[in-house]
Amino acid sequence: MTYQEKIDQAAAFIHQQCGRADIAVVLGSGLGDYADQLEGGKTIPYKDIPNFPVSTVEGHAGNWHAGTLFGKRVYLMQGRFHAYEGYSMEEVTMPIRVMARLGVKTLILTNAAGGINTDFPQGCLMLIDDIINLTGRNPLIGPNMKEFGPRFPDMTYALDSKLKALAKETAKKLDIPLQQGVYCGMIGPSYETPAEIRALRILGADAVGMSTVPEIIVGRHCGMQVMGISCITNMAAGILDKELDMYEIIETGKRVKDIFAQLIDGIIAEIR
């Protein structure tokens, strides 16, 4: 079975189970509780979707949700896939292709990230202004899937300017502090070294993580309007005199879930 056939089969199954949607949100580590916001929700475990990978990371429940928010049809992915789990970039980004097949126009990506910019406090939210891809991989390598997009998609506006403006306006209206910065994607699964973090700061990165960048690239290739929000769950290696802890990252995500939910609610409510 070709990759295209796998995408089509997965999309057909989801469509049969829960219909189409205009907006999709990918929920990162510690942020999965937002799925409770959906009205009339339908839940499909990833393992039940034909050809889908299965999320193996703690804090990623591995469920596809569909329902209504503010009168809009919305998909929520409760967890994602990562290259460090052993998945290819085609597998990592397959859900984004499936979303495109199902009519999604607006893609909101969220993640837990390590803070590089020392002006960003732990637990704050950061609107992703731009990305640096240091994974060593690009999800568009290989034959171009021309039914989705062009061979050489432009990344100047990979993060949609109108959505960024909407996020900032919504945060201001709700009195939610929202930083803005550059997210750097690394391959993982080991956390970065203090020397790598110093190098990333020189390159202009404000936050670092092991996801999101491939999804942004594929979302852009598919012609979606893409927005990204990071929860700065910890300071990156070497900034504080302590080791990094996955459980601290998950707990910080849970601690800010109410503010996160308010912001995403406010954004979705205003999307036209």
Mean pLDDT value across residues 128-132? 98
What pLDDT score does 244 carry?
67
pTM of the full structure? 0.94
Q: Are strands 106-115 and 23-27 parallel, antiparallel or unpaired?
A: parallel
pLDDT category of residue 257 using cuts at 50, 70 and 90: confident
More confident residue, 233 or 151: 151
CATH number of 3-270: 3.40.50.1580
Residues 6+ away with beta carbon under 8 Å from 35: 27, 41, 43, 61, 63, 65, 76, 78
Cα-based angle 62, 39, 78 (whole degrees, multiple of 5):
15
Residue in the block written with tokens 């390159």: 203
Q: Is 172 exposed, middle or buried (0-12, 13-18, 19+ CB in 10 A)?
A: exposed
Higher per-residue pLDDT: 122 or 172: 172
Q: List the end-to-end C-alpha distance of the chain, in Å, as a whole number.
A: 37
Count the helix, strand and coil residues of the chain and give each as a percent rounded to the nearest 5: 35, 25, 40
- pLDDT (average), residues 148-162: 97
How large is the average pLDDT for residues 179-192? 96
* Position 236 pLDDT exceeds 90: no
Element (H, E) at 215: helix 213-221
Give me 49's structure tokens.
Answer: 């979707």
